[in-house]
Structure 1
Amino acid sequence: MPTLIRTARTTGILYLGLAIAGALGFLLIRPRLFAADDPSATLANLVQHQSLARAGVAFELLIVVTQALAAVWFHRLFRAADARAASAIAAFGLINAVVILVSAALLATALDIALDPVGDAAATVQVLYLASGNLWGVGGLFFGLWLIPMGTCVLRSNWMPRPLGYLLVGGGIGYLLSAFIGYLAPGAQAVADALVLPATVGEFWMIGYLLTRGVRGHALDQTPPDQQPEATPQTIGSAAD
């Protein structure tokens, strides 16, 4: 298998892992533990569902791992097409991984306080969960930012469908706007949610394309030798003839 195709497939697996970890940790587990208007209920949930709370921390750590590795592999994939944009993908992705890492630490601290109370445990746990949620909110800036150079790489390389590139760039801009709207106009949450829909479609399209196709065939002719198909004894023998 050509090196570039293998890199694309690995990137797709990492990106899929990021999507799954995020869905399970943030969208499924967190709402079962965090009661936005009831600190006592949040504390009780953590005490009664310790395993679920620990799983929530573990999934956030998995998000950090897959986000960081996906950022690095996207750089490896696109560096030959646009080195500057590929570096931007890596930089923004790694920053977002650090943001989620801090969120995971806050969730772990909340669980520790719930199991070994200090002071007003309910209030402290609630504040930690609120801080974690706001880290996700502000971290959306960098998740949006990493989609813009990703879409740029798709457009400049022509290794993938151009509509995918435009969708990723537009989705990244939507993510940025959504983060600001979430804080400037809390009552317009429906608008903020709608702005991230193009990004969601673009991300799953990217994941599917990386896993099933990798890159278009002509990309192999445009990449440097270190990303070309690996030599085999048969090809070496043919070259010798």
Structure 2
Amino acid sequence: MSRSIEFTALPTSDPLDIDLEQGGPILPTTYPPTAATSSPNAPTRLPRKKSTLTAKIEQLTDKAIDGLGPVLLCLAFLLLSVCTFAYFSVVFPFHYQWQEGEGVFGNLGYIVNMIWSCYLVWGITANYYYAVRTPPGGVLDGIERTTDDVTYQSVLLEMETYTEITPTCKRCLLPKPERTHHCSVCKKCVLKYDHHCPWIHNCVGHYNHRYFVMFLTYLSTACFYYVFMGVGPFMLAAAVDNG
């Protein structure tokens, strides 16, 4: 004995339901509150609020970091310049000097190390410059504001469609793509935000992250090479002072 079960499609009046054959988007369904959530005795999760003192301290810290940015830029340039001058005027001549009459092959060590040293200096300088000058990337990058803000407002209106399924920044009220965070120093959301570096007076984000990493790589390599090459002059100077 077999039973036949009939399924009847329930009519829907929800305007957000879109036929899949039409190629429309599938929007999330909103469910009514259950008894557990609608109960007056259910626990309520309150948003965390910062104290006034903590907020003031954070604001002062952000302003100090932003104000020290140009000073740290000049200090970084000064340190790099002094180290470069000391290397080419003291450390490098201690190991390599151009020998007159030896030709290219006789001065091969001089040429190779000079090229390598200049390459490190170029890598540090170029990547530091691009890390400073390249914008890290924002949510509204590439959108130019017109006099009547038509383009800007239309984009914001389109973004409102995704606010229910995309996280929204509580400070600038814009959608936050994955790995996007709000920088309290720059006062904007940064794509693939890593951190705000005061030494470059800029955020490290999507568009300048590679320059920042390459700058640190070249700088670390140059520091190890500088220490390795500077052992000889340091020991000689120490022997002269002691004797």
TM-score range (shorter-chain normalised) is 0.3 to 0.5
Q: Which has the larger radius of gyration?
A: 2
TM-score by length of 1: 0.35
Structure holding more helix per residue: 1
TM-score by length of 2: 0.35
Structure holding more strand per residue: 2
